[in-house]
Amino acid sequence: MRTPRLKICLTSLLVSSALVGCASSGGTADATVPDDTGAASDGGVGDGPIVTDAAAAQMKLFFNAEITGPTPDKTQINIRSASTTDGFHFTLDPQTWITSYALSDPVEYRMKSGKWIIAGFHEGEGIRVAVHDQTPDFTSATFTVAVVKGQVPSILEFDDGIRLYYFGDLGIQSAFSKDGVTWTLEPGARVATPSGSNLFLIADPAPARRKDGTIVMYFKAATLPRDGGDSPYDHMIYRATSKDGLTFTHENKLLVNHAGIPQAFTNAAGHVGVYFLDFSKFPGTKENIAAMYEQDDYSLTPPAPIVFETPLPDRAWADDPCPVLVP
């Protein structure tokens, strides 16, 4: 969830995979002060080390190339993508996959069959979803409503269908579909604010599937605001794990401070990568995209900023990152 923008935008972008598991959250957070043992507990995103993996060439980073709209309450959403050879340096692809004023929190996902799904929040309707064969081009897509009350969707494929995770009234909730068109709400919360905690927000689910089949969910959390407001500078990234995608166990460890809107995927080598927005210099400096990868023991490499080797379009900035495994 993001409040410093022209409108509240709880964004989660594209997740995709043949092997991809997104990342989201799980169970309890520290009741008073977050555990400071994490990948970047000091709140800073460093210069490295950068993890170079030959498998990185089999991924694209989708992102929202946002442009301020014609009125203060509108932001033009332009989903773009970029290619990489190391997971941290990217070259802009020529396509614009969708342009919209009415599709916040966009997320694209590639299924094992090659079909693509896009989900996003519409202020008047809730979370809308569209399915397309073999391409992420949704410039003329037909959307159906999956969840009336929900924002910040993410998607993960299972053997018997597709689970849509989202930020709802109870925390992180979910809905299930066999075809990506008809969705059934699943009761309860996958991850909720723990009793007695000073957290007031658990949102932005980002699930991914590890090599051993465990589902890991990275997510955004925040403590009660000290000044009565909600700044992304105060947001943090945690994670939780699950065997079935429904019941999650919170690790209760702060991973990255001053960060939010994570998305995760599983790369071709079977490692989970997490891309997120770094707010450590906010509000003086606009947020930047950073990334970190799980190692074999599931510890995380230190977060490092990504670099666009190709300049972005005028009046645009890269936001809402979503890594996608591509064949």
Residue 253: CB atoms within 10 Å: 16
The Cα–Cα gap between 238 and 254 comes to: 5
Amino acid 21: pLDDT: 32
For the question of whether the overall pTM of this predicted structure is more than 0.75, the answer is: yes
Residues of the chain with pLDDT under 70: 1-53, 68-74, 225-229
Residue with tokens 């105060």: 234
- At 233 the three-state DSSP class reads helix
Amino acid 73: pLDDT: 57
The Cα–Cα gap between 258 and 256 comes to: 7
Amino acid 229: pLDDT: 60
Amino acid 124: pLDDT: 86
Amino acid 66: pLDDT: 78
Amino acid 45: pLDDT: 62
**Cα separation values, 14 from 11, 146, 276, 320, Å:** 10, 17, 12, 8
> Which of 186, 125, 117 is closest to 155 using CA atoms?
117
Measured in degrees and rounded to the nearest 5, phi and psi for residue 86 equal -135, 0
* CB-based contact 302:51 (threshold 8 Å): no
pLDDT single digits (tens) 214-230: 999 999 998 876 655 67
Burial of 170 (0-12, 13-18, 19+ CB in 10 A): middle
Entry field: residues in the chain:
327
Q: What six digits make up the tokens of 287?
A: 């947020």
pLDDT single digits (tens) 157-181: 999 999 999 999 999 999 999 999 9
Which domains does the chain carry? Answer: 54-315 (2.115.10.20)
Amino acid 100: pLDDT: 84
* CB-based contact 250:191 (threshold 8 Å): yes
Residue with tokens 């050879």: 85
Spatial strand order of the sheet with 259-266 comes to 259-266, 272-278, 288-293, 304-305
**Cα separation values, 294 from 211, 272, 274, 308, 324, Å:** 11, 5, 8, 22, 16
The Cα–Cα gap between 58 and 327 comes to: 6
Partner residues linked to 98 by β-bridges: 79
The Cα–Cα gap between 24 and 174 comes to: 11
